[in-house]
């Protein structure tokens, strides 16, 4: 490789974790997978009881599954993501359905909105992939008004999809270590991330089925559609890529409830609905003893109006 080519490669390398994540997710065609998991968003919208006129923010919304589910219920929707082409898909889909949504390129770890802006905040298989999980959780709560509702759908650690991502990391470890996104798919992880800032917690284990005519076709879809899988394969040697596909086929076979020519794999996820706690009322200021003036000879300690009457002659 020439020095010029090396310089080009260095110049094109992501400079920040956000840029690296953007490049990874942009490498795939995630909207194609998104069309196959749309029922997750419809189920979440129903569980949240989204109402007309509510201000809703969908974080890491991709091509708009949950944003559109909310817009169908006449919420005022803002859909954010770090991948601009994903938001282009969301706007086009909204136009086809004659729905109104706003879109904005925004990082889940640094949302460009004021405190307490939204009535509902959602994220479907999105915020769990944030690099700084505590920061993303804090931002999500910050922009949600007290008493507002939080809705999440998160992959779980024991799901088939979690196994796929673990395989990709085994064969092609990421250049920089990243926290496990599956932390968001456990009750303990949710408690660690959201703490006592939420109440009325409803956490359900649900599943969505992924189908394909064959294991080979399912692998092709993941290879082309899912950015983390595609970028991992790009770092593998041909032999490693073949071994990865063989391990994937074994993994999918173990989860398959259909036949080899009718692949039907249930993928578990958590559906989470919570309410942000209202801020406690501020205590009324109490005068401190030090703030009371000391009585002096010129300032009687009692109000004359409170003094007993003088005896009459």
Q: List, for residues 137-181, the tens digit of each pLDDT value.
A: 999 999 999 999 999 999 999 999 999 999 999 999 987 778 899
Kindly state which CATH superfamily the domain 16-158+176-209+269-279 is placed in: Vaccinia Virus protein VP39 (3.40.50.150)
CA dihedral (107, 110, 115, 116) in degrees, to 10, reads: 30
Which residue's structure tokens are 């310089």? Answer: 7
Where does the pLDDT of residue 18 fall: very low under 50, low under 70, confident under 90, or very high at 90 and above?
confident
- In order, the DSSP letters of 61-90 are -TTSHHHHHHHTTT-EEEEEES-HHHHHHH
- As a whole-number percent, the residues of the chain with pLDDT over 70 amount to 84
Tens digits of per-residue pLDDT, 23-48? 888 898 888 999 999 999 999 999 99
Q: What is the pLDDT of residue 14?
A: 57
Look at the chain and count its residues: 313
Tens digits of per-residue pLDDT, 267-285? 999 999 999 998 766 666 6
Q: What is the pLDDT of residue 11?
A: 46
45 three-state secondary structure? helix
As a whole number of Å, the end-to-end CA separation of the chain is 117
Tens digits of per-residue pLDDT, 217-227? 999 999 999 99
Q: What is the pLDDT of residue 12?
A: 53
- In order, the DSSP letters of 188-214 are HHHHHHHGGGEEEEEEEEEEEEEEESS
């Amino acid at each position: 490789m020439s020095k010029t080519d090396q310089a080009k490669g260095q110049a094109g390398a992501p400079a920040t974790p956000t840029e690296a994540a953007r490049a990874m997710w942009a490498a795939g065609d995630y909207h194609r997978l998104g069309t196959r998991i749309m029922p997750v968003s419809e189920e979440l919208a129903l569980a949240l009881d989204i109402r007309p006129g509510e201000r809703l923010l969908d974080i890491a919304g991709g091509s708009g599954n949950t944003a559109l589910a909310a817009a169908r219920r006449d919420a005022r929707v803002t859909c954010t993501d770090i991948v601009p082409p994903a938001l282009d898909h969301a706007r086009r889909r909204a136009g086809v359905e004659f729905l109104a949504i706003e879109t904005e390129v925004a990082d889940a770890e640094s949302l460009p909105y004021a405190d307490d802006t939204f009535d509902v905040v959602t994220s479907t298989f999105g915020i769990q992939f944030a690099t700084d999980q505590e920061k993303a959780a804090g931002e999500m709560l910050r922009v949600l008004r007290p008493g507002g509702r939080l809705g999440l759908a998160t992959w779980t650690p024991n799901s088939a999809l979690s196994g796929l991502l673990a395989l990709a990391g085994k064969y092609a470890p990421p250049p920089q270590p990243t926290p496990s996104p599956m932390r968001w798919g456990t009750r303990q992880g949710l408690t660690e991330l959201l703490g006592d800032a939420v109440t009325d917690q409803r956490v359900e284990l649900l599943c969505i089925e992924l189908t394909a005519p064959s294991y080979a076709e399912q692998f092709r879809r993941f290879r082309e559609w899912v950015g983390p899988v595609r970028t991992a394969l790009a770092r593998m040697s041909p032999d490693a890529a073949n071994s990865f596909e063989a391990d994937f086929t074994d993994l999918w076979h173990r989860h398959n409830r259909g036949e080899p020519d009718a692949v039907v794999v249930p993928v578990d996820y958590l559906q989470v609905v919570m309410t942000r706690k209202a801020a406690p009322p501020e205590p009324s200021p109490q005068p401190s003893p030090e703030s009371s003036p000391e009585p002096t000879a010129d300032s009687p300690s009692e109000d004359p109006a409170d003094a007993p009457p003088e005896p009459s002659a």
